[in-house]
């Protein structure tokens, strides 16, 4: 946190014209990377203190989005150079969510720099960002978490070892890595988003840290963070004042510009703010949306436009199927809707006809029949919901 206050002038000047800066966000819950990222991804309290302890009990935002809106795995993505982070945070243990609704994972690795005796170097950030942008460019992404991990990695003892415990070298290296991360966000990611026809004008960008660092051992460069488990106990230790200090920046539709908040917030409040602006539900939520940065005049007509005006379709169950499959879908307002089934050549083989349906949840069951009351052959089909100018579809696999 302390070095951020010295090095952040470019980032804060950029933010001032585009969004909101929250300097007083506290992580009172967890001190290690994996549980912190799980909280940022929407779980609330994951219930573990150290890295690589398994999966959280409750679903995260990627799972909720896939479950509620029927998004494919490629639409919700986590990009990182940390394999243990990907292993722990891509899905929960919740029986109604979990691996069936997991996030797409993009693991970026490179050879270690010479001074590190490690098999995998976690970074550099330029490769992580390049992989993220490549996926964004090739897919219709709805939610993405990008872990720029190089600064965290070198801020530990490994960075000091690389500098042969020369403190000046250590801080110079950290500043260079910080400025590179800043460059990747300001000069690479944001211009791409604003120039892309799919993301321009409708993408929320959130920049934040997951933890601070101990205030002890200052002369050696704050070489650790978080306390993990209390010795001899089953609960987590509280974070020290250095470890708890984090910050967040929000930029994009639905966010007020030029805001620097003097209020305090918790790490658990970040994901609910994202969820609120995107307009979907999280019944497991533990934080609260940060109201002071939200522009209510634009938020519900921008990021949440998709949720308000389009059908929300859950995946067919079962799928693949033999005799029948059922799709649950939400009609946001009374609409005339037609259900159509297409084969892989795009030929319509069945239609329900246009009927007006009331607001709320509905079920549609397909028994594998065609328009001639015969049975369709086994294969891949597409179930489409048509309403006015809107269209939602998903792939079904019929077995015989």
Give Cβ neighbours of residue 75 (< 8 Å, ≥ 6 apart).
Answer: 65, 66, 104, 139, 140, 141, 142, 143
CATH number of the domain encompassing residue 44 = 3.40.720.10
Same domain, 231 and 208: yes
Which CATH number do you get for residue 354? 2.60.40.1930
| Domain match, 118 and 64 both | yes
Whether 342 and 246 share a structural domain: no
Tally of domains within the chain: 2
Same domain, 257 and 241: yes
Query: Residue 368's closest CA among 321, 330, 316?
Result: 321
- Is residue 4 pLDDT above 90, yes or no? no
Residues 300 and 387 in one domain: no
* 31 and 137 share one domain: yes
193 and 151 in a common domain: yes
pLDDT in tens, 126-166: 999 999 999 999 998 999 999 998 888 777 777 788 888 88
Helices and strands, counts by H and E, the chain: 14, 16
Percent of the chain with pLDDT over 70: 86
Is 0.75 surpassed by the pTM of this model?
Answer: no
Same domain, 329 and 301: no
Picking from 255, 285, 306, the residue at the C-terminal end of a domain is 306
Domain boundary among 255, 276, 306: 306
Same-domain pairing of 22 and 110: yes
Same domain, 362 and 240: no
Tens-digit pLDDT profile for residues 302-356: 444 444 445 677 778 898 999 999 998 877 777 788 899 988 777 889 999 888 8
3-state helix, strand, coil in the chain (%, to 5): 35, 25, 45
Give the least confident one: 15-19, 26-30, 181-185, 202-206.
26-30
Domain boundary among 258, 287, 306: 306
Three-state DSSP class for residue 177: helix
How far, in Å, are 25, 36, 103, 128, 133 from residue 124 at the CA level?
Answer: 27, 21, 22, 7, 15
Domain residues for the domain of 96 are: 2-306
Q: Are residues 135 and 241 located together in one domain of the fold?
A: yes
CB atoms within 10 A of CB 234: 6
Could you tell me whether strands 19-26 and 265-266 are parallel, antiparallel, or unpaired per DSSP bridges? Answer: parallel
Is residue 279 located within the same domain as residue 378? no
């Amino acid at each position: 946190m302390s070095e951020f206050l010295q090095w952040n002038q470019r980032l804060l000047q950029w933010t001032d014209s585009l969004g909101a800066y929250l300097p007083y966000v506290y992580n009172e819950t967890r001190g290690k990377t994996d549980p912190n990222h799980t909280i940022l991804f929407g779980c609330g309290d994951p219930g573990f203190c150290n890295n690589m302890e398994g999966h959280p009990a409750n679903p995260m935002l990627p799972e909720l989005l896939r479950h509620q809106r029927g998004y494919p795995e490629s639409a919700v993505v986590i990009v990182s150079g940390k394999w243990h982070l990907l292993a722990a945070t891509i899905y929960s243990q919740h029986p109604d969510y979990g691996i069936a609704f997991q996030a797409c994972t993009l693991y970026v690795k490179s050879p270690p720099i010479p001074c590190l005796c490690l098999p995998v170097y976690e970074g550099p950030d330029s490769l992580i960002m390049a992989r993220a942008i490549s996926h964004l460019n090739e897919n219709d992404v709805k939610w993405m978490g990008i872990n720029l991990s190089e600064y965290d990695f070198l801020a530990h003892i490994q960075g000091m070892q690389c500098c042969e415990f020369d403190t000046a070298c250590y801080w110079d290296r950290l500043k260079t890595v910080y400025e590179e991360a800043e460059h990747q966000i300001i000069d690479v990611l944001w211009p791409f988003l604003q120039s892309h026809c799919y993301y321009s004008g409708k993408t929320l960008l959130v920049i934040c840290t997951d933890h601070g660092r101990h205030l002890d051992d200052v002369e050696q460069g704050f070489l650790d963070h978080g306390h993990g488990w209390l010795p001899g106990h089953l609960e987590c230790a509280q974070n020290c004042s250095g470890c708890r200090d984090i910050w967040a920046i929000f930029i994009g539709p639905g966010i007020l510009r030029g805001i620097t908040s003097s209020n305090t917030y918790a790490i658990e409040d970040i994901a609910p703010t994202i969820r609120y602006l995107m307009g979907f539900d999280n019944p497991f939520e533990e934080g609260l949306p940060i109201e002071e940065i939200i522009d209510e005049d634009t938020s519900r007509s921008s990021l949440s436009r998709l949720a308000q005006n389009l059908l929300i379709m859950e995946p067919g169950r079962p799928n693949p199927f033999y005799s029948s499959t059922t799709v649950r879908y939400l009609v946001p307002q009374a609409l005339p809707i037609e259900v159509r089934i297409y084969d892989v050549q795009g030929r319509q083989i069945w239609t329900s006809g246009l009927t007006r349906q009331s607001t709320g949840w509905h079920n549609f069951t397909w028994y594998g029949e065609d328009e001639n009351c015969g049975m369709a052959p086994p294969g891949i089909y597409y179930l489409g919901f048509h309403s006015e100018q809107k269209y939602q579809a998903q792939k079904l696999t019929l077995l015989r």
